[in-house]
Structure 1
Amino acid sequence: MKHERCHLENKWEEADKLLTDLLNIKSVNGRDDEGQVALFLKAYFESFGISSEIQKIDEKHSNFVTHIPGRDHSRHILMNGHMDTVPYGDLDKWNTDPGTAVLDPEGRVFARGASDMKSGLAMLSYAIAHVAEKGTPAFDITFAATCDEEKGGLGANVFSESKLLPKVTEILIGEPTYLNLGIAQKGCLWLELSFEGITGHGAYPEKGLNAIEEGMRVASLLKAAVQKESNPVLGHATAQVTKIEGGVAPNMTPDRCVLLMDIRMVPGQTKEDVLRCLSEILKDRNKIDPRLICHYEVKNERVSVEIGRDARLTKDLKHILERQGEEPEYTGISYFTDGSAILKALPDAGVLLFGPGDPELCHQANECVELEKYHKAIEVLMEFISNGK
């Protein structure tokens, strides 16, 4: 695949073409070959004379990585974006083909991934390539486009465990923030709870131990404990039962129940805190009825992420946005990003989210991005990469 560069009359024609080209490469998680996006990016950067590497994981998954030295080697920023999208959903709810970029008269581009987050990926690619072509960036840059973010974070995990990840000082992720500064994101804990009770005749519930009722009681107590914690930007932590299995027949007391809980933790709240709460709840329940048995398994863990308002990266982007006439807000997101996976390898690096996409449109039918926001995001990022502040 070769990316042809040409001289274009419209200032933003090349940037818009980059965006639509990325959107037209189908990269639905679990269905398509996300490596095609990585190959496209490699060709794009090669057209600027910038070398890069494809980190192949399997037949459908690859990462794209490039390293660009800057003037200040004491500052090294990892810029990251993911290449995959979620499925299209109900096609009848779309006004356009979600697999093809469509520009409307109001300057919006519609397609799956327009906001989440191929506009952010295009922003990073365009800004990095153009600044590097004209001169030397203000700081060292590693740009990593990762796969499988929407499901298991395979790309970020493999990248973080490889030699391709240097010791960076800061991390900037192009997730949709609508030009605001994403300074916090909730962590995630998927917890499977397996309860064992005592079966019996449905007419004599007092002789058995209802595993479903006990499981829901424990889940309710854990939810209440988890949701006491809060964050000024993110609000309260959340917890909910998202899946339940149990029971044999209408006239039998269930002796088995398996619950899956989706717990979203705020910064300062950890997996260990949640499991400690669970242990205390189970001890209290066993005092009431020692026959109850509960086993748990952590199915997924993503740490919460937070960067200070006074952090260098936050202040630099804020000042540039304000100089360019924007009034950015400090925001947070309740879902996790690849930042939480990368932080396992670099726990001291601050993570800031900044991108042109609208977080309200993520995973929705008729997902789109405003070209005005996309262009402004590129201008902000190019100034940052060029001058460092």
Structure 2
Amino acid sequence: MMNKNKLKQKLIDEVEENKAELINLCSSLIKIPSENPPGDSTEASQFIADYLGQFDLEVEWHESSDKMFNLISSIGNSDQGKHLIYCGHTDVVPAGNLTKWDFNPFSGEVKDGWMLGRGASDMKAGLSGLIFAFALLKRLQIDLPGKLSLAIVPDEETGGDFGVPWLLKNRIIHGDGCLIAEPSSPYNPTIGQKGSYWFELEVFGVPGHGSLSPLAGNNAITDAVKAIEQIQQLWDINIEIPKEVQPLIEVSKRYMREVEKDREKFQSVLEHISVNIGTIEGGTKSNVIPESCKVQIDCRLPFGISEEEVSTFIKNKLETLDIDYVIRPFGFRSDANYTDAENPVCKAITENITFVTKHEAYGVMQWASSDAKHFREYDIPVLQYGPAFLPSIHGYNEKVEVEQIIRCAKVYVAAVIDYLYAE
């Protein structure tokens, strides 16, 4: 009978012995600019395919949009056992103003124990760990009683239409469970997300000479301000959280109190609709009564309320104002979603975090959203776990601790054994 713990320890030791290769892999990926927009993944995709090719791993290329390539590679036996997907994205947010960086965002430099550069935390460190763990299982010729697929997507940071949802819609991937190497806390993978509802509100007015306002015309900007005041009341809705997810909410609050202690004051965001007035654009000149004002709004939805219910609430509020408006949904849209903590894919990750680190691990709720929702829409249980320095994500001077990259790769390779060799 196979001793799983012995095999896991062998693989963990191999990661430790070859950690320099892992760190070099991550550094090399960061050196390849893959900002989205524009979203050209050609160079990063070719580099990954070449790396996997060293170990005779075949890679399928799927171009979902111009110069956006999804890569799929699989090992194991597809005719028996379960199918596990390891997923990551190659795209990163733009580096922005280069003068505000303390280092070259595409240097991939390792300094004082930190990996530096755009994508270090989100998510080229996690992606490198997945690629390395996947290749390690192949080069060691581990006989898996099931299938492990590596799905590398080019489009997540702008909404992800040409990444995970494209692969699922076109039936290119499907599995029994999935791990996305998105940034997370070291001991707390993300097993649930709030929903998303992004929309643009456009309010229409009647133009006129500014010297006659408010007696003449109809000011679209002041009407939009009235509308914003009503929309912000979404936060005040008392939402009944379903019983089945209340334990997840409570353990996530514990996490915010005890782990990310600076987040303690934000605990209530898990049970309320957040409302962010992101952009506002209107008018042409100070002396012209504006005939149009556009406002883009990001709402995140807790469990217990749907996008349809939110839309109805907004419509009812705005109808009391006697304004001329239209609402156009766009971007991220989903209801709150989660994977049960007892699901085998969640247990495989959390239990191996503890196996590797000897530290308590448990899944928590994310107050934002991600590609995980797409897998759940196709009934694929999923969670997120990856190396990160959370304060640096999407900001200047992005970085991640080298030790976190190595630790996560150890968890990835051990979790495959527990998941696929499950009795």
- TM-score, L = length of structure 2: 0.80
1:15 equivalenced with 2:46 (yes/no)? no
Q: Provide the residue aligned with 1:240 in structure 2.
A: 276
Give the Cα–Cα distance (whole angstroms) in 1 for the partners of residues 30 and 284 of structure 2: 48
* Kept after mapping to 2: 8 A contact 1:79/1:143: yes
1:276 equivalenced with 2:312 (yes/no)? yes
Q: Provide the residue aligned with 2:131 in structure 1.
A: 125
Q: Provide the residue aligned with 2:258 in structure 1.
A: none
Q: Provide the residue aligned with 2:302 in structure 1.
A: 266
Give, as a single letter, the amino acid of the residue that structure 2 aligns with 1:162: N
Q: CA deviation at 1:161?
A: 2.0
1:225 equivalenced with 2:234 (yes/no)? yes
Q: CA deviation at 1:10?
A: 5.0
Using the TM superposition, name which of 41-50 and 226-235 deviates more: 226-235
Using the TM superposition, name which of 145-154 and 127-136 deviates more: 127-136
Q: Per-residue displacement from partner, 1:124-168 (whole Å, max 9, x unpaired)?
A: 1111221233213354222211012111312223222223122x2
Give, as a single letter, the amino acid of the residue that structure 2 aligns with 1:312: P
Which of 391, 396, 401 in structure 2 is aligned with 1:370? 401
Q: Provide the residue aligned with 2:6 in structure 1.
A: none
For residues 354 and 254 of structure 1, do their structure 2 counterparts lie closer, same or farther at Cα, with a shift above 3 Å needed? same
Give the Cα–Cα distance (whole angstroms) in 2 for the partners of residues 269 and 139 of structure 1: 38
Q: CA deviation at 1:60?
A: 2.4
Q: CA deviation at 1:53?
A: 0.4
For residues 243 and 21 of structure 1, do their structure 2 counterparts lie closer, same or farther at Cα, with a shift above 3 Å needed? same
Give, as a single letter, the amino acid of the residue that structure 2 aligns with 1:309: A
Give the Cα–Cα distance (whole angstroms) in 1 for the partners of residues 59 and 96 of structure 2: 34
Q: Give runs of aligned pairs for residues 314-329 of structure 1, distance below 5 A.
A: 314-324=346-356, 325-329=358-362
Give the Cα–Cα distance (whole angstroms) in 1 for the partners of residues 20 and 114 of structure 2: 14
Q: Per-residue displacement from partner, 1:161-189 (whole Å, max 9, x unpaired)?
A: 223122x2222110011322112223322
* Kept after mapping to 2: 8 A contact 1:39/1:54: no
Number of residue pairs aligned between Structure 1 and Structure 2:
374
Q: 3-state SS of the aligned residue for 1:29?
A: coil
- Going by fraction, where is strand more abundant, 1 or 2? 1
Q: CA deviation at 1:58?
A: 4.1
Give the Cα–Cα distance (whole angstroms) in 2 for the partners of residues 204 and 86 of structure 1: 43
Which of 29, 38, 63 in structure 2 is aligned with 1:56? 63
1:100 equivalenced with 2:131 (yes/no)? no
Give, as a single letter, the amino acid of the residue that structure 1 aligns with 2:136: H
Q: 3-state SS of the aligned residue for 2:96?
A: coil
Q: 3-state SS of the aligned residue for 1:205?
A: coil
* Kept after mapping to 2: 8 A contact 1:185/1:334: yes
Give the Cα–Cα distance (whole angstroms) in 2 for the partners of residues 8 and 132 of structure 1: 13
Q: Provide the residue aligned with 1:330 in structure 2.
A: 363
Give the Cα–Cα distance (whole angstroms) in 1 for the partners of residues 15 and 382 of structure 2: 35
- Going by fraction, where is helix more abundant, 1 or 2? 2
Using the TM superposition, name which of 67-76 and 176-185 deviates more: 67-76
Q: Provide the residue aligned with 2:192 in structure 1.
A: 184
Q: Provide the residue aligned with 1:77 in structure 2.
A: 84
Give the Cα–Cα distance (whole angstroms) in 2 for the partners of residues 248 and 366 of structure 1: 37
Percent identity among equivalent residues?
26
For residues 193 and 43 of structure 1, do their structure 2 counterparts lie closer, same or farther at Cα, with a shift above 3 Å needed? same
Give the Cα–Cα distance (whole angstroms) in 2 for the partners of residues 8 and 42 of structure 1: 20
- Alpha-carbon RMSD: 2.7
